[in-house]
Amino acid sequence: CALDLLVSPENDGLAVAIEKARSSRREGKLPTDETVRLLLTAGRYRLLEPIVLTPADSRLHFIGPEKGTAIIDGGVELPKFVVGANGVWETKVPDGLAFNQLWVGGIRAQRARIPNDGFLYMADCCEKYPTRAFYADLKDIAPVLALDPADRDHVLVGHWESWDMGYDQIESLDSKTGHLVMRKGAMRKLFNGSIGRPRYVIENLRAALDAPGEWFHDVKSG
Cα(136)–Cα(190) distance, integer angstroms:
13
Cα dihedral 172, 139, 212, 200, rounded to 10, equals: -60
- Mean pLDDT in residue range 112-137: 96
pLDDT tens profile 142-160:
999 999 988 899 999 999 9
pLDDT of residue 194: 67
Cα(30)–Cα(93) distance, integer angstroms:
44
Give the distance from CA 186 to its chain's centroid.
16
Q: Which amino acid is residue 39, in one-letter code? A: L
pLDDT band (50, 70, 90) for residue 1: low
pLDDT of residue 164: 84
- At a CB cut-off of 8 Å and minimum separation 6, what does 83 contact? 89, 90
- Mean pLDDT in residue range 73-94: 91
* Alpha-carbon distances of 209 from 82, 124, 158, 188, 213, rounded to whole Å: 17, 27, 16, 31, 9
Helix (H) or strand (E) holding 25: helix 13-26
First and final CA of the chain: distance in angstroms? 52
pLDDT band (50, 70, 90) for residue 202: very high
Arithmetic mean of pLDDT over the chain: 92
pLDDT of residue 31: 83
